Structure 1
């Protein structure tokens, strides 16, 4: 990419020199048309400069996108290797050592959590790939959203914190929608897992699902560091992750919120992020009144 930018600058400099040279020759031999030559030269120069700037910006965006893809591949590799190594260690310990039943149950339970984490990662990658296809459509059906949110919260509650309740849920029962069940489960899981990921250990996560005047609304609120106004406009981009790659400690691939936004758009639902009080972020999903 640096080489492409270098040759772009060389080409721009060469074209500018040619423009000045030919302009000088025309003016020298046809002085009575100097005004027209200068005017047309200025118009050409303005168009040329605009084209160079746009091409430079496009190359820069491509460079950033390639960097994000590289970060994504590194993240996926780490996300795959870490739980696989953990499961392998647990199973080897069970096979090589004479453990009592209680210890075996603990190790198997931890292995199951790592396998669920792998399954979640694979589901995200597969869904992100499907979303790239213009021909892909979601198979929609009627189902109870309240039950889906409850099941996701219950599953993540067990993995979030052992010492106390980490997820505080207020779920209105019996709320039905017409949507792709698998995709909506993925949306709810991504939002709640993100809230857990970017919160202090064992901090409370608030999950609210209720019927309002504007429709069925899902809120997921955390009390972490929050998201800056600049990053609020970027977090739904593919591969984008909050913070710096050099200092980031949280795991992830940068696909979660991209999937959330894309799935909700295809379901004619809206999502927005706002600041929580006293700190943290609130993700609010409005499924609208099309829910059945």
Structure 2
């Protein structure tokens, strides 16, 4: 990156110096046209500098995207390797040791959690691929949104903590017309993020209710919260805070990108606001949620 920028600046300076030199020669040989030459030269110079700055910004954006993609490869490698190694260890322990039924049940239960984690990762990658295909249309159907959220809460509750930390406050029997697979992914990503960025066993409140003809779904946590600057960036593809080699939280940078894209295709809005006394609240609003 540094070498490329040095070469870029050298070429810019060389081009500007050549422009000034040729302008000087033209004025020397045609002094009567000095005003026109200087005026046209300045316009050309302004256009040239403007184009160079645009090219520089585009170069920086491409470099940033390349870094994000590298971080994604590092993170997805870790996300795949860690649960696979864990599952392998559990199964090897069951096969090699004479464990009682309770120990076997515990090891198998932990293996199932890792398999579910892998399943969520694969679903995120598959859905991202589908969403980037502009010709792909989300297949919509009628289903019970309350039951869907409750099933996700039940599954993630088992993985979060032994005590009750995910607290559902759901209006009963809410029906929605949407892509069930994609919306399940949205609910899973939002609740998983709340669990991931919250202190151990901290409370997470999941709400679903209808107000003024609009369907509202929200997830509130008591983690560290998100700065106003970061709120503008967290829905970008591959975007994650910090360096991949030192980051403690798991993830690929796809979750919130999927959430935003899926909701846009359902004509729904999402916003992030601060929770009190700490944490964040992700609020989703469906204007037209029924068929």
Range into which the TM-score falls when normalised by the shorter chain: over 0.9
Partner of 1:181: 180
TM-score (structure 2 length as normaliser): 0.97
TM-score, with structure 1 as normaliser: 0.97
Gaps of 5+ in 2: none
Comparing 11-20 and 93-102, the one that deviates more: 11-20
Q: C-alpha separation between the residues in 2 aligned to 1:42 and 1:246?
A: 48
Q: Which residue of structure 1 aligns with residue 114 of structure 2?
A: 114
Which residue in the other structure is 1:148 paired with? 148
Shift of 1:242: 2.9
On the 8 A contact 2:178/2:289 being kept in 1, the answer is no
Q: How many residues align?
A: 291
SS for the counterpart of 2:240 is: coil
* C-alpha distance in 2 between matches for 1:3 and 1:127: 38
Aligned residue in 1 for 2:206: 207
Spell out the pairing of 1:91-110 with structure 2 (5 A cutoff): 91-110=91-110
1:234 correspondence with 2:205? no
Q: Structure 1 residue runs of 4+, over 2 Å off?
A: 1-8, 242-248, 289-292
**1:49 equivalenced with 2:49 (yes/no):** yes
Native 8 Å contact 1:224 1:280 kept in 2 = yes
Distance 2:10 2:33 in 1: 30
Aligned counterpart, 1:40? 40
- 1:108-151: per-residue Cα shift (whole Å, max 9, x none)? 00000000000110110111111111111111101111111111
Q: Does 1:21 align with 2:21?
A: yes
SS of residue matched to 1:188: helix
| CA apart distance, 1:9 | 1.8
Match of 2:277 in 1: 278
Aligned-pair CA distance for 1:58? 0.4
Q: Any idea what SS the aligned residue of 1:263 has? A: helix
Return the alpha-carbon distance in structure 2 between the equivalents of residues 2 and 267 of structure 1.
Answer: 43
Tell me if structure 1 keeps the 8 A contact 2:74–2:244: no
Name the SS for the 1:270 alignment partner. strand
Q: 1:111 to 1:257 in 2, by over 3 A?
A: same
Residue 30 (1) aligns with residue 14 (2): no
Give the structure 1 partner of residue 66 of structure 2: 66
Conserved in 1, the CA contact under 8 Å of 2:146 and 2:172?
yes
- 8 A contact 2:215–2:289 mirrored in 1: no
TM-superposition CA deviations, 1:258-287 (whole Å, max 9, x none)? 000000001111111111111100000001
Do the aligned partners of 2:27 and 2:37 also contact (CA within 8 Å) in 1? yes
Gaps of 5+ in 1: none
In the alignment, the residues of structure 2 paired with residue 139 and residue 70 of structure 1 have an alpha-carbon distance, to the nearest angstrom, of 32
CA RMSD, 1 decimal: 1.2
Partner Cα distance (1:156, 1:67) in 2: 31
